[in-house]
Amino acid sequence: MSVRVRALRKSFGKHEVLKGIDLEVAPGEVVGLIGPNGAGKTTLMSCLLGFLHPNSGEITIDGRANDDLEVRRGTGFVPERMSFARGETGWVFLRYMARLAGVPSGEVDARAKAMLERLGIWDAAQKKLSQYSRGMLQRIGMCQALIHEPSYIFLDEPTSGLDPNGVLLVRELILEQKQRGAAVLLNSHQLAEVEKVCDRVLFLSGGVIATEETLKHVDRIVIAVTLLAGSFDAATIERVAGAAVRENVVIVSVETEADIAELVREIVGTGAGVIDVRRHTADLEKIFRGAA
Amino acid sequence: MNRVVISETLRRHLTNPFFLAYVALIAIVAFGVSHFNRPGSMWPSMIALLAMITGAAPIGPEFSSGTLQIILVKPVKRWVYLVSRVTGVVMAVSVGAIAGAVCELVGRAIWSDALAWETIGIAFANCIGDAILTVALLTLLGSLTRAYFNIAIYFGVQVTLSVMMAAGGMLRASRSTIGQFLGEHMGIERALFVVERNLFPEFPLGFDRDWMLTVLSNAAVALALACIAFRRREVPYGAE
């Protein structure tokens, strides 16, 4: 297990913010952290990164303490608001971050250039950070977090302030990190983004994980088949699909893409009209409201 | 110590136009006063001010700006980062001191028969020792506070000590009840004097080995305390 948290508690004075958090993020997994304001998301992230010291509980990353230098060597962090010496250029800032993160000196320039190009801000490399827009700062924040190819990535609202292209880019980058085998913890209020990139979502409320929802099963595909009202017999569909029909939607889990086509063919074979077939994900808004 | 942090700290100062302008001013003053003033005068006071300005920046302001949080996730131990920052700042201050000393020597070579290199060398050593203590004290205060409160506390303590010592002297002279009490307990005034002398020592006229050892050992204690405080310090991000 990559990132592991057990019975984590954190108080500020008499106010207990985290009341016993258990959490695991496996390599190659993207876990979303959502919850209302004041739920303790930032406090949890701060404890994981070693900015705050928990009152009790255990945080281990690949079996080591979170302030172990080996762990730090493999950690990437994007804060919600990027802030640094604004008089520096993006290029100088990124080179410094890369050197500090332990990127071999011979590779620093090449990697910095590649990251700036990948994030679409190479043209602004020689501009001072004070001239960067919020979105550009967010992009350079991603650059500094990923330049050393970390294994444990902590993202706090990485798409805030980004235009739609930037949002798509960050989504791509997160999925690339997942494919690379990195464990990613994403703190975000943008439920649509969380739904698109996360494998699991943790709903933090009142200092505890109120709900945990798996959005993507590793070996199963969950689909929702919407049927034309009045065109089907519910009992027949339930027999063919092996799942109950609710209103005019049947939610089924299959193993492969070919199974989807086969299932749809069988449903249509019963005389039912199929309006829509799409991957099914949890209704995060509904769960968010419930958990909050 | 971390070479990357030291070189970056030094680079940031040496590419800062205000820093360079101030060093140029030190050089001009040192060159100018070499014509009429005693050796090693004026520019060491400018170095003391430079140490205060540059020494105020590490840790406290970095914490408030959010810079520290980005750096603390990098593979550098907190105490190593702190000591490396202090080293970089002291090196930057040394650049100013070198400029002052060299320009005074050049000026004396032009205008005078006596280079007075020994006196200038002692002034250089004294102002570097003083700068190390100033930067270490400001770093200690910065490791406990946010923003530029470190420099505010530094001046606050300095002014408070001076006022207390002056007030104590006046009260003793007035023969009031408090004055009598202070007269009977001279240890209070002596303690204030010792604290002031240790935290804000005045330059000796020549080379004073005891003064130098006191300054450097006080700086070492301040830096060690700063490392201990910084190691346990919580640095929540997003906090203003």
Q: Judge whether residue A35 has pLDDT over 50.
A: yes
- For B69, the closest of A51, A75, A76 (CB atoms) is A51
At which residue do the structure tokens 């009202």 appear? Answer: A229
The minimum CA-CA distance between B47 and chain A, rounded to whole Å, is 24
Cα of B59 to nearest chain A Cα, Å: 13
Return contacts of B224-227, CB within 8 angstroms, 24+ apart. B225/B140, B226/B59, B226/B82, B226/B136, B226/B139, B226/B140, B226/B142, B226/B143, B227/B78, B227/B79, B227/B82, B227/B83, B227/B143
Q: Which residue, chain included where needed, has tokens 């492969």?
A: A256
pLDDT level of residue A281 (50, 70, 90 thresholds): low
Rounded to the nearest angstrom, the minimum Cα separation between B146 and chain A is 15
Q: Cα separation of A144 and A84, whole Å?
A: 12
**Tokens 């990098």, residue?**
B74
Q: Over range A218-238, report the average pLDDT.
A: 83
Compute the mean pLDDT over every residue in chain A, rounded to the nearest whole number. Answer: 87
DSSP states of A271-284: TPPEEEEEE----H
User: What residues of A are in contact with residue B71 (Cβ under 8 Å)?
Assistant: 100
Residues of chain B positioned with their CB less than 8 A from the CB of A52: 234-236
User: How many CA atoms lie within 13 Å of B190's alpha carbon, on the beta-carbon side?
Assistant: 5
Of B67, B72, B74, the CB nearest to A85: B67
Judged against a pLDDT cut of 70, whether residue A39 lies above it is answered with: yes
**What's the pLDDT score for residue B239?**
47
ipTM score assigned to the predicted complex: 0.84
Ordered per-residue pLDDT tens for chain B, 240 residues: 889 999 999 999 999 999 999 999 999 999 988 887 788 788 999 999 999 999 988 877 778 777 888 899 999 999 999 999 999 999 999 999 999 999 999 988 888 777 788 888 999 999 999 999 999 999 999 888 887 888 889 999 989 999 988 888 888 888 788 888 888 888 888 888 889 888 898 888 788 899 999 999 999 999 999 999 998 888 877 544
Compare all CA atoms of chain B with the CA of A70 and give the residue at the minimum distance.
Answer: B75
CB contact under 8 A, B72 and A73: no
In tens, the pLDDT along A237-262 reads 888 888 888 888 888 888 887 888 88
pLDDT of residue B22: 96
pLDDT of residue B240: 41
Place of tokens 């050049």: B106
Cβ pair B73:A53 closer than 8 A: no
pLDDT at residue number B48: 92
Min Cα–Cα distance to chain B from A276, Å: 44
Is beta strand A200-205 parallel, antiparallel or unpaired with respect to A30-34? parallel
List, for residues A197-209, the tens digit of each pLDDT value. Answer: 888 888 888 888 8
Q: Which residues in chain B are contacts of A102 at CB distance < 8 A?
A: 74-75
Confidence of residue A291 (pLDDT cuts 50, 70, 90): low
* Strands of the A208-214 sheet, one edge to the other: A75-78, A152-156, A183-187, A30-34, A200-205, A208-214
Say whether B75 and A46 touch across the interface (CB within 8 A): no
